[in-house]
Structure 1
């Protein structure tokens, strides 16, 4: 029987689909449109048209599957989309979870480190760290709430595992998603980088971790799928080195942070559309999103690829997809 993947058009979901096919699984994908898409070209998958926010289409998609890997989410760092993100990230997740429970199938929920507590330069956070300190933007709130609600369904008997990836780069980032940072830094060549830091991970490692969680993750348990912890300043300089462009010269100070966030919010209001540069994104960039993957390494056999290879692989893929790189 097939494995259902939600969010198969996205960066993580598309890599999961490909990894499942490579190991010989049948794959069913829940998509909002069955029109041909480049991300599924030459892939032998079954499509079910629907939306995770529609319980009937989720029920149809889950009929006769062995398991579901729930990746679909609305990702946007800002203040303005809380209700939409709750509808998708919380409501959609619970639709999938309750359907999986009713059908007695195993579920892997691909959440985010943004649902966990915040780390520091000295002490990366783990799955048991207090879930405090994050900027309470709409994405963080919705992902945190989705895990809280999912745990309630798990307590009702759902066999589900939660994985929390860090900042991912790699191939098949069609939209693009997190690869936009790499492309933005190499195109715009900013002189100043955010003052915080990230946990940079290769999408192939995260994908392998998701499949390992499906096979041997413990129900109700979180697994951080991280990588190399590094300041944004160092990451952006690495991006520039790989691409052969000018690197940033310094970290963003508190005064520039406040000005950039204020201007971004004001322009967003004038345009009636929240820009990527807003006060939530600026504040998130000042935090150290450092995470410890020890649990996944010990229990799932998780492997971490070095940061240079991770960036190289992402950059090289974008060079083969000029239309994606220009978007």
Structure 2
């Protein structure tokens, strides 16, 4: 039986990955900061280790005896660059150091972000060999985390995946879009030309993570950085306008796409940034996220992933949005 450690297991992607691994018969250990948030993981017979990504001793214990470490944990919103650095860069370094201390180091599959590579040019999907040009502090921290991990790739087998927007059951970020459509029937987009983007359902991402753990290419310290890096998509490029229409269709509602000047997004982002600083709790939509929202595009190709491990999305986007909306309603997260 394969045994895995999942970091970030109480989060959206991490929880879904734990459930997917248990369905496949894997033995799963999880690293969590707050055990009270891990009841749903215990119900799936996952082993709980309480600890922090910054404490090497705890991580050495957590990775002991596992075959694969799925490093999913990471900070997506922060009050400043230092918070991104501590969680995304230092945390990743400590995970790799803990693995390197093992007599037989486990394979590490690290969940990074398309933001580490940076925006795409309309009509030209980003691929793994493109130069990395992140436009946000978040993207810069994920790229720095990749580089930290790669420093130990001569001792620890390492593969990195860069997902675009991930959606599906448990996703509270996309939930805000669904809720907004329910309440207003409007979908605001920055600028007159809607941004092309790739997205992926969380179930497909989990499938790819398992495939990469089994047969993905590993990073080589002397090779190009892109050697062990993979992009992933749902199989087709959409626009941010279509993202709203798909969500509305999943809700069985009509929506009006409302183009707004990009200045408006900077204003709203600034307001949310200020509120977050006052409350000392970062907003998911702030100036850093506006840098990503007004970019030229977030389109990528997963040709390499399909070729190397046989990845393919399990269902079309329309079905995935229907399933996501149904899940939100079942959980009582949507009121209409």
Q: TM-score, normalised by structure 2?
A: 0.87
Residues 109-258 of structure 1 correspond to what in structure 2 (within 5 A)?
A: 109-132=110-133, 134-136=134-136, 138-154=137-153, 156-173=154-171, 176-194=172-190, 195-220=194-219, 221-227=228-234, 228-258=236-266
> Residues 39 and 81 of structure 1: is their aligned pair in 2 closer, same or farther, counting only changes over 3 Å?
farther
Secondary structure of the residue aligned to 2:152 is helix
| 1:45 alignment counterpart | 46
Q: In structure 2, what is the Cα distance between the partners aligned to 1:216 and 1:149?
A: 23
| 1:291 alignment counterpart | 300
Q: In structure 2, what is the Cα distance between the partners aligned to 1:319 and 1:144?
A: 36
> Residues 205 and 250 of structure 1: is their aligned pair in 2 closer, same or farther, counting only changes over 3 Å?
same
Give the conservation status (yes or no) of the 8 Å contact 1:197–1:229: yes
Q: In structure 2, what is the Cα distance between the partners aligned to 1:300 and 1:113?
A: 19
> Residues 307 and 256 of structure 1: is their aligned pair in 2 closer, same or farther, counting only changes over 3 Å?
same
Q: In structure 2, what is the Cα distance between the partners aligned to 1:86 and 1:139?
A: 9
> Residues 325 and 300 of structure 1: is their aligned pair in 2 closer, same or farther, counting only changes over 3 Å?
farther
Q: In structure 2, what is the Cα distance between the partners aligned to 1:267 and 1:50?
A: 30
Secondary structure of the residue aligned to 1:35 is helix
Give the conservation status (yes or no) of the 8 Å contact 1:11–1:177: no
TM-fit CA distance, 1:197: 3.5
| 1:281 alignment counterpart | 289
What runs of 5+ residues in structure 1 fail to find an aligned partner? none
What runs of 5+ residues in structure 2 fail to find an aligned partner? 220-227
| 1:311 alignment counterpart | 321
Give the conservation status (yes or no) of the 8 Å contact 1:170–1:202: yes
Give the conservation status (yes or no) of the 8 Å contact 1:117–1:129: no
- Superposed CA RMSD in Å reads 2.2
| 1:90 alignment counterpart | 89
Q: TM-score, normalised by structure 1?
A: 0.89
Secondary structure of the residue aligned to 2:69 is strand
Q: In structure 1, what is the Cα distance between the partners aligned to 2:110 and 2:277?
A: 34
> Residues 219 and 179 of structure 1: is their aligned pair in 2 closer, same or farther, counting only changes over 3 Å?
farther
TM-fit CA distance, 1:19: 1.4
TM-fit CA distance, 1:180: 3.7
Q: In structure 2, what is the Cα distance between the partners aligned to 1:205 and 1:36?
A: 24
Q: In structure 2, what is the Cα distance between the partners aligned to 1:253 and 1:234?
A: 18
TM-fit CA distance, 1:148: 1.1
Residues 93-104 of structure 1 correspond to what in structure 2 (within 5 A)?
A: 93-103=92-102, 104=105
Q: Which string of whole-angstrom CA distances, capped at 9 and with x for unpartnered residues, describes residues 6-30 of structure 1?
A: 1111111111111111111111111
Q: In structure 2, what is the Cα distance between the partners aligned to 1:265 and 1:251?
A: 22
Give the conservation status (yes or no) of the 8 Å contact 1:193–1:236: no
TM-fit CA distance, 1:35: 2.8
TM-fit CA distance, 1:190: 3.4
> Residues 252 and 239 of structure 1: is their aligned pair in 2 closer, same or farther, counting only changes over 3 Å?
same
